Chains A and B, each alone.
Chain A
């Protein structure tokens, strides 16, 4: 994205070094006044991408609104690890109701705020991919279609991690989960048609849709900040690696998230009123194999005789993304 003109990058990454920037241009997370909305002490696994994504996103939303955020959480890892009664990690008004109704509950909160004044508070609904792309999909679409004043954030770790790594509609083809075992003639998840919820969100013509990654902090923060400046239904889909479910090293969470972006498997883009307005251009495209090899959920592709056919099919998915979203600079 072309958001800031700074050219200084930390070694080995494309992340702008905060120390090289003036204070007012630094990331929310680098700011001493960040709210730590999801405070330390919660029970997420080491290297949890979702915990990272949620803290980045909600802190950015807090800064954008003068600390006036109410969050509604779907059932899932984020809910369970953050609020084991009587403890809570949330420093903001927060409510969990059910697995599949976060978007509807948030719509209700937004309605109440409109009637009661609401002190300028803004509502965020958040959930994992299961709570968003599967069981919560009806409520999500309803919230979009009514254009309720809610930002919905999906933290996509590509399976039902809280229940023990079962397949969701966001699980990629060939991935091993507890319900798409790496056995038989076609190990791992099937090659279905896919379910791109950001594109489905755009088909509702809601004012703002974006994808983001925990590998690109400033981009994620900028998108949340932009979303909080818009009224109506908004959707941000954040790619968050799960070391437990993906069989990856906790220390590799950011690296894997970055490889998903740089391979073209997880395109970063923004859409306003249903039209793509910006996309993250890949500067150094990597083969999908680099991404797949770091995760045990794809280990069956790299046995004594690598499954080149399947790897090529996954590469084709990345190639299609690059074409569809125009990810490569001309």
Chain B
């Protein structure tokens, strides 16, 4: 049914249709509306046979889900930002134990400085934890990916993160087609775990594994991700047949057929880039977009096939590996290994900095002239950064940069010369 609905509400309704049995909730912006909606649905008994548990931390939220999943219940939680860091230990643990938990990430920056706005630093911090990570481009896809995520998680016995841009998607009112219970039931069978904590068949789970077997366990986690490379497109195909629309899959190409320049991005940013590309196409530029939905497993072969005929690739990413540069571009370069396609990285939108079409077009036009550095920072306020660097050269002082910049600005505004404060 078509609804004009907040992204968080759409996600909550999709999760509800998946018949979750245990939902753990801890508030953190911007995922709160999702669990609030689910809590209300459980309390009104719109979701039957479901426990909604308010816990005392994100660490507990995922730990409760670990327990409930190990005891055979379909388990769900959601978090963001500092929350995923606080539960980091449990994130790795859930993957190591092979528990098919589904978790929404309302993507948000990580502090300090504390910042509630959108970027992908939080999901990226857990990219190697053994979870499958799917990034939603729109709110329709965010809702649909959750339905696929439970199926994927349970077929592989592997946890899945659905990454949804905070505010840009979670708080945006959009037209979303919410499927019927019958449709979802036909797509997502009941959860039948292979091994649970059962008094009639006692097993020990989570033993201390030494050097003789740990390596193999890790490898088998990798193998699950490789299996997901096959399963994700199959589930997306089946989804299209049953629901009549595209969602998920490994990657999607847009206007790439004859493209000389191909832009790569994740999440809602792809929508803005598509608009920029449409404008440039009208002006005769041969440019297209590849959006990566499955960041883990990273679809090396599909990315290579989509990009290898381009003259250049620009990866625009909302995350930043401090001390080296891009994170998504690392994977893209690996996919293009041995080819001669130059790959540029543009770090953009950190901490919610708007990524405008104007800036993107400027970036892509520079790329077309191959006038870009390998690592670029879109709309970084160079003057602020350089003033602070210069001040630091004159007067070495430890402390937080944000406050140092502020002191600097105040000094300038008040007319007090630098260094007098």
Taking Cβ atoms with an 8 Å cutoff, the residues of A that contact B are 67-70, 72-73, 79-80, 83-88, 90-98, 100-101, 104-116, 118-119, 121, 138-139, 141-142, 145-146
In the assembled complex, B21 has its CB within 8 A of some CB on chain A? yes
CA distance A303 to B80 in the complex (A): 56
B73 (CB) vs chain A CBs: closest residue: A112
- Name the contact of B51 in the complex, choosing from A72, A114, A119, A141 (C-beta under 8 A): A114
| B-side contacts of A94, CB under 8 Å | 197, 202-205
**C-alpha gap A112/B200 in the complex (Å):** 16
- A97 and B66 contact, CB distance less than 8 A: yes
B368 at the interface (CB under 8 A from A): no
Q: Are B207 and A109 in contact (CB under 8 A)?
A: no
- Interface pair A111/B56, CB less than 8 Å apart: no
Q: Is the CB of B208 within 8 A of A101?
A: no
Quick check: B199 and A93 within 8 Å, CB to CB? yes
Q: Which residues of B contact A112 (CB under 8 A)?
A: 21-22, 51, 67-73, 75
CA distance A118 to B24 in the complex (A): 19
Say whether, besides A70-B71, A84-B210, A114-B51, A108 and B65 are in contact (CB < 8 Å). Answer: yes
* Candidates A83, A105, A116, A142; contact of B67 at CB < 8 Å: A105
**Interfacial chain B residues near A110, Cβ < 8 Å:** 67
Partner of A97, one of B24, B97, B198: B97
Kindly state the separation between the CA atoms of A115 and B208 in the bound complex, as whole angstroms: 30
**Contact A111–B208 (Cβ < 8 Å):** no
Residues of B within 8 A of A85 (CB): 207-210, 213
- Shortest B303–chain A CB gap in Å is 35
Q: Which residues of A contact B68 (CB under 8 A)?
A: 108-109, 111-112
* A108/B49 in contact, CB under 8 A: no
Q: Which residues of A contact B22 (CB under 8 A)?
A: 108, 111-112, 115
Q: Give the docked Cα–Cα distance between A329 and B70 (Å).
A: 48
Q: Are B53 and A93 in contact (CB under 8 A)?
A: no
Q: Is the CB of B200 within 8 A of A119?
A: yes
**Chain B residue contacts of A106, Cβ below 8 A:** 67
Q: Which of B325-378 contact A (CB under 8 A)?
A: none
- A120 (CB) vs chain B CBs: closest residue: B199
Q: Which residues of B51-108 are within 8 A (CB) of A?
A: 51, 53-57, 59-60, 63-73, 75, 89-90, 93, 97
Q: Is the CB of B93 within 8 A of A142?
A: no
Is B59 within 8 A of A138, CB to CB?
A: yes
Q: Which residues of A contact B50 (CB under 8 A)?
A: 115
Enumerate chain B interface residues (CB-CB to A < 8 A). Answer: 21-22, 24, 49-51, 53-57, 59-60, 63-73, 75, 89-90, 93, 97, 197-210, 213
Contact assessment for A70 and B199 in the assembled complex, using a CB-CB cutoff below 8 Å:
yes
Q: Contacts A109-B71, A113-B71 given; indicate if A100 touches B59 (C-beta within 8 A).
A: yes
Check B67 against A96 for contact (C-beta < 8 Å).
no
Q: Is the CB of B57 within 8 A of A108?
A: no
- Shortest distance from the beta carbon of A148 to any chain B beta carbon, whole Å: 8
CB distance from A18 to the nearest CB of B (A): 28
Contact partner of B63 among A84, A96, A108, A115, CB < 8 A?
Answer: A108
Chain A nearest CB from B57 CB (Å) reads 6
State which of B64, B199, B213 has its C-beta within 8 Å of the C-beta of A68: B199
| Contact A84 B64, beta carbon cutoff 8 Å | no
Chain A's nearest CB lies how many Å from the CB of B95? Answer: 12
For A145, the chain B residues whose CB sits under 8 A away are 56
Report B24 CB to chain A, min CB distance, Å.
8
Chain B residue at minimal CB-CB distance from A73: B206
Is the CB–CB distance between A139 and B60 below 8 Å?
yes
* Nearest 9 CB-CB pairings of A with B: A108-B67, A142-B56, A112-B71, A104-B63, A101-B63, A96-B206, A112-B73, A105-B67, A88-B204
**Pick from B53, B66, B197, B208: contact of A83, CB under 8 Å:** B208
Which listed residue, A79, A92, A139, A146, touches B53 by the CB 8 Å rule? Answer: A146
Nearest CB of chain A from residue B104's CB, rounded to whole Å: 18
A-B contacts, 25 of them at CB < 8 A, read A70-B71, A70-B199, A90-B204, A93-B198, A93-B203, A94-B204, A95-B197, A97-B63, A97-B66, A97-B90, A101-B63, A104-B60, A105-B64, A107-B67, A108-B24, A108-B53, A108-B67, A112-B69, A112-B71, A113-B71, A115-B21, A115-B49, A116-B71, A118-B71, A121-B199
The answer on a CB contact under 8 Å between B56 and A138 is yes
Could you tell me the distance between the alpha carbons of A72 and B93 in the complex, rounded to whole angstroms?
14
B199 touches A67 (CB 8 A): yes
Q: Which residues on the B side are within 8 Å of A95 (C-beta)?
A: 67, 70, 197, 204-206
* Residue in A closest to B198 when the chains form the complex, CB atoms: A93
* Contacting pair A138 B197 (CB below 8 A): no
Given contacts A70-B199, A85-B213, 7 further A-B contacts (CB under 8 A): A80-B208, A83-B208, A95-B67, A100-B89, A101-B60, A111-B22, A138-B60
B-side contacts of A104, CB under 8 Å = 55, 59-60, 63-64, 67
What is the distance, in angstroms, from B402's C-beta to the closest C-beta of chain A?
29
Task: Please indicate the chain B residues that have their CB under 8 angstroms from the CB of A101 in the complex.
Answer: 59-60, 63, 66, 89-90
Q: Please tell me if the beta carbons of B55 and A142 are within 8 angstroms of each other in the complex.
A: yes
Residues of B within 8 A of A107 (CB): 53, 55, 60, 64, 67
Which of chain B's residues have a CB closer than 8 A to the CB of A139? 56-57, 59-60, 63
What CA separation (Å) do A92 and B212 show in the bound complex? 25
Could you tell me the distance between the alpha carbons of A139 and B205 in the complex, rounded to whole angstroms?
20
The smallest C-beta distance from B167 to any residue of chain A, in angstroms, reads 29
* Chain A residues whose CB sits within 8 angstroms of the CB of B71 once the complex forms: 70, 108-109, 112-113, 116, 118
Taking CB atoms, residues of chain A closer than 8 Å to B63 are: 97-98, 101, 104-105, 108, 139
**Which chain B residues lie closer than 8 Å to A96 at the CB level?**
205-208
What is the bound-complex CA distance between A196 and B41, given in angstroms? 40
Which chain A residue has the least Cβ–Cβ distance from B49?
Answer: A115
Distance from A200 Cβ to chain B, minimum over Cβ atoms (Å): 14
A68 to B202 CA separation, bound complex (whole angstroms):
10
Is there an interface contact between B73 and A115, defined as CB atoms closer than 8 Å? yes
Q: CA A106 – CA B66 in complex, angstroms?
A: 9
Q: How far is the CA of A139 from the CA of B203 in the complex (A)?
A: 24
CA distance A92 to B203 in the complex (A): 7
